[in-house]
Structure 1
Amino acid sequence: MAEASARLLIVDDDPELLKFLVEELSSAGHHCTGCDNGQDAFLYLRQKEFQLVILDWTLPDFSGLEVCRRLRSSGNTTPVLMLTARDEIDERVKALDAGVDDYLTKPFNLKELHARVRARLRSGSYQRSDDPTAELLSLGDLQIQLLERRVLRGGQEISLSQREFDLLCYLVRNADAVQSRQSILEAVWGSPFVGDPNTLDVYLGYLRKKVEKSGHPQLLHTIRGAGFMARVGDPKS
């Protein structure tokens, strides 16, 4: 079965639990990579393809929710199974809204863990598609290759920082729809957003300098009093 040889990324800051999960799921035939913080998780996800991420809610740098939000806003569709001691319905809703696919509370039964892993691997909801266009975002002559994290406009490659890339992906994935300042900050920087809201204006300025080209239609628009929008040409009135 395909799920017997799946590549799993396991993220948990409890060293004993992390070691146990890696050993337990490896014994079931999976190829497991473990790490104990969100930053390393992002690094692994950029370097290779996984079929499932098993993610702790509480991490030393980012919350599991923020990790998942950043993955989804960057276009990464790897399934996420969240492990947490939080079992309130409101917490489950937050996790699902952040893009988590499944949710298992601690302490958990091993049989249930293996069953949840098998179910996620069977679902196919976020598995890599054989169609290369499923891994591509486009807007006019702008192309974003999600797996390679490459951006091209008019065939010319544009070099973006990770944050610029995540911001551009979020806007293009929601093209032709006005996005409020708060919704962008929470999706790209994490919720709740803590910091200077003007950070968004700074990064949009960076993006415009790199993405907008003389003689090409404008793609990134400011909608006064409402927010921002990605759209080819002038924004609708």
Structure 2
Amino acid sequence: MRVLLVEDNPTLAKSLTDALTQAHFTVDCMHDGEAADHVLRTQDYALVILDLGLPKLDGLEVLRRLRQRRNSVPVMILTAHGSVEDRVKGLDLGADDYLAKPFELSELEARARALIRRSHGHEQTKTACGPLEYDSVDHSFRLDGESLALTPRERSVLEVLILRNGRAINKETLSEKIFGIDESVNPDAIEIYVYRLRKKLERSGVAIVTLRGLGYLLEAKQEPAAAGA
């Protein structure tokens, strides 16, 4: 799950990024309102965690512009100002939750997951592709009913592929979803994780297919029809 964190305090931004990454989120971090507004026009996120006291463009204006574009991504507001007036103003502009500083990291993580679940309309937590099953609550995979051992990066790649519902995704977009906006990361690094996943899925009936010009696609192989059927 890809999250945009907008926080101008470098120390707090780093601690929140580290905590969310440990909780299996992919985090892009912006430190001012203008940068946040720009990236929200071009990128898709599962959640926005937005500080109000931002330079260049305050958090409420970022939120107002976001909703004006009819973008319904869940937004959690962070602020050191816990007044009722601030809270009402943010909620009126379309915020989904409000967390006053200081707060516990565990509470932030729990609220983030709750907002994302709510935004998906309490959809089923389990998604399957043939014998491969993904549980979005604990971010685990099972293959033929058995737990599938994956590294964090492998899990992130497989999450993106299984949630695409049979739609291909190109290498560059997949890289952005896994590593965030990081120009130092070569999109070709994704090939390493795809190779490892293919090894773990071989002979399972599930395969990561490369479609020329389109990218990668996760699909379940169909069993051949029985003779005379």
TM normalised by structure 2 equals 0.58
Could you tell me which runs of 5 or more consecutive residues in structure 1 were left unpaired when the two chains were aligned: 1-9, 19-33, 47-54, 73-78
In structure 2, the residue matched to 1:26 is none
- 1:232 matched to 2:220: yes
- 1:58 matched to 2:31: yes
- 1:14 matched to 2:39: no
Structure 1 position 11, deviation (Å): 8.6
In structure 1, the residue matched to 2:17 is 38
In structure 1, the residue matched to 2:168 is 178
- 1:142 matched to 2:132: yes
Aligned residue type for 1:204 = V
Aligned residue type for 2:202 = K
Q: Distance in 1 between matches of 2:175 and 2:167?
A: 16
Q: Deviations over 1:2-46 (max 9, x none)?
A: xxxxxxxx9957389x6xxxxxxxxxxxxxxx9833112333x46
In structure 1, the residue matched to 2:226 is none
Q: Distance in 2 between matches of 1:98 and 1:222?
A: 32
Matches within 5 A, 1:87-236: 100-102=73-75, 110-111=83-84, 113-115=86-88, 116=90, 120-121=96-97, 126-127=116-117, 134-210=124-200, 212-214=201-203, 216-233=204-221
TM normalised by structure 1 equals 0.57
Could you tell me the percent identity over the aligned residues?
A: 18
Q: Distance in 1 between matches of 2:125 and 2:197?
A: 21
Could you tell me which runs of 5 or more consecutive residues in structure 2 were left unpaired when the two chains were aligned: 99-113, 223-229
8 A Cα contact 1:139 1:172, kept in partner: yes
Aligned residue type for 1:182 = E
Over the aligned positions, Cα root-mean-square deviation in angstroms equals 4.7
8 A Cα contact 1:11 1:35, kept in partner: no
Q: Aligned with 1:134: secondary structure?
A: coil
Q: Distance in 2 between matches of 1:15 and 1:205?
A: 36
Q: Distance in 1 between matches of 2:73 and 2:164?
A: 19
Aligned residue type for 1:14 = N
Structure 1 position 200, deviation (Å): 0.8
Q: Distance in 2 between matches of 1:161 and 1:97?
A: 37
Q: Distance in 2 between matches of 1:134 and 1:117?
A: 28
Q: How many residues align?
A: 181
Structure 1 position 217, deviation (Å): 2.0
Q: Distance in 2 between matches of 1:169 and 1:70?
A: 16
